[in-house]
């Protein structure tokens, strides 16, 4: 059994959970939450299967040779993994939640806007993974729906990507546009809110 857990971090337990459950191999992205090089990844599991995977790559002549990682990429991934293991994920989660709540508080007073806090959750346990700010707008008030609002944010400068009705993120997704603080730098949430208010003419 091979488990594709590329985007299942956090929590940190993902690094060992599926192996403990009996999976033969587990694949984890090095370029998502670990924040290593985007073209890197981690393969863990049974030693003999790892060796077979290695035989498909450099310095051998298997099908994976053309997709080999450079030494710099490997060094970057190992460095990023060490940093991730030392990361206070709980404190980071709290900072994301504070930003998501702040954005919701800025938008909620606007007539025709409903905004609040929701969560991306883990697949098996349904535990909160990433706090998100959701936004719903009244088409009758603004003359546009959330899909058009999302498109106008993407067309602006800077381009702001806000998924509309993201069924892959939320169970209750209908009509919702999501603002994810996970990869926002400090202060970028203010840029997002300013742009939203400008588009909504507030």
- Residues 2-54 pLDDT 10s: 999 998 888 888 899 999 999 999 999 999 889 999 989 999 999 999 999 88
Helix then strand then coil, in percent of the chain rounded to 5, is 40, 20, 45
Tell me, yes or no, whether 80 and 108 share the same domain: no
Say which residue the tokens 């299967």 belong to.
49
* Integer Cα distance of 36 and 32 in angstroms: 7
Last residue of a domain, one of 66, 85, 104: 85
Tell me, yes or no, whether 180 and 93 share the same domain: yes
Q: Is the pLDDT of residue 194 over 70?
A: yes
Neighbour order of strands in the sheet with 128-137:
113-121, 128-137, 177-179
Tell me, yes or no, whether 26 and 117 share the same domain: no
| Percentage of the residues of the chain whose pLDDT score is greater than 90 | 71
Tell me, yes or no, whether 159 and 132 share the same domain: yes
Taking the alpha carbons of 159, 103, 38, 167 in that order, is the dihedral positive or negative? negative
Last residue of a domain, one of 67, 85, 103: 85
**134 — phi, psi (to 5°)?**
-100, 150
Task: Please state the rounded mean pLDDT for residues 178-184.
Answer: 92
Last residue of a domain, one of 64, 85, 106: 85
**69 — phi, psi (to 5°)?**
-90, 145
In the DSSP assignment, the letter for residue 70 is P
Tell me, yes or no, whether 95 and 188 share the same domain: yes
Tell me, yes or no, whether 103 and 59 share the same domain: no
Q: Is the pLDDT of residue 123 over 80?
A: no
Task: Please state the rounded mean pLDDT for residues 72-83.
Answer: 94
* Integer Cα distance of 143 and 137 in angstroms: 10
Tell me, yes or no, whether 122 and 66 share the same domain: no
pTM of the predicted model over 0.85: no
Per-residue confidence (pLDDT) for residue 202, from 0 to 100: 58
- Domain count within the chain: 2
Q: What is the pLDDT of residues 126-149, one digit of tens each?
A: 788 899 999 999 999 999 999 999
Tell me, yes or no, whether 67 and 159 share the same domain: no
Domain region containing 170: 89-199
User: For residue 118, what is the domain's CATH number?
Assistant: 3.90.1150.180
Tell me, yes or no, whether 50 and 117 share the same domain: no
Q: Is the pLDDT of residue 183 over 70?
A: yes
Per-residue confidence (pLDDT) for residue 155, from 0 to 100: 93
Tell me, yes or no, whether 26 and 7 share the same domain: yes
Contacts 24+ apart (CB under 8 A), 146-154: 146/175, 146/176, 146/177, 149/177, 149/196, 149/199, 149/200, 150/177, 152/199, 153/192, 153/195, 153/196, 153/199
* Integer Cα distance of 55 and 161 in angstroms: 40
* DSSP-derived pairing of the beta strands 128-137 and 177-179: antiparallel
Neighbour order of strands in the sheet with 25-29:
2-4, 25-29, 41-45
Task: Please state the rounded mean pLDDT for residues 151-171.
Answer: 91
Tell me, yes or no, whether 103 and 9 share the same domain: no
Q: Which residues pair with 41 in a beta bridge?
A: 29
User: For residue 35, what is the domain's CATH number?
Assistant: 3.40.640.10
Tell me, yes or no, whether 47 and 123 share the same domain: no
């Amino acid at each position: 059994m091979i488990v594709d857990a590329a985007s299942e971090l956090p929590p940190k337990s993902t690094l060992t959970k599926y192996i403990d459950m009996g999976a033969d191999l587990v694949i984890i992205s090095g370029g998502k939450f670990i924040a290593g090089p985007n073209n890197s990844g981690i393969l863990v599991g049974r030693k003999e299967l790892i060796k077979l995977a290695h035989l498909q790559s450099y310095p051998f002549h298997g099908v994976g040779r053309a997709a080999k990682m450079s030494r710099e990429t490997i060094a970057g991934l190992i460095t990023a993994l060490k940093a991730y293991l030392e990361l206070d994920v709980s404190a980071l989660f709290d900072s994301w939640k504070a930003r998501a709540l702040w954005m919701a508080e800025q938008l909620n007073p606007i007539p025709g806007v409903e905004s609040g806090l929701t969560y991306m959750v883990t697949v098996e346990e349904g535990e909160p993974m990433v706090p998100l700010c959701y936004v719903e707008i009244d088409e009758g008030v603004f003359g546009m729906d959330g899909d058009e609002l999302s498109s106008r944010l993407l067309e602006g400068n800077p381009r702001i990507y806000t998924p509309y009705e993201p069924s892959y993120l939320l169970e209750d997704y209908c009509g919702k546009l999501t603002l994810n603080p996970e990869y926002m730098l400090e202060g970028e949430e203010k840029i997002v809110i300013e742009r939203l208010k400008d588009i909504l003419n507030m």
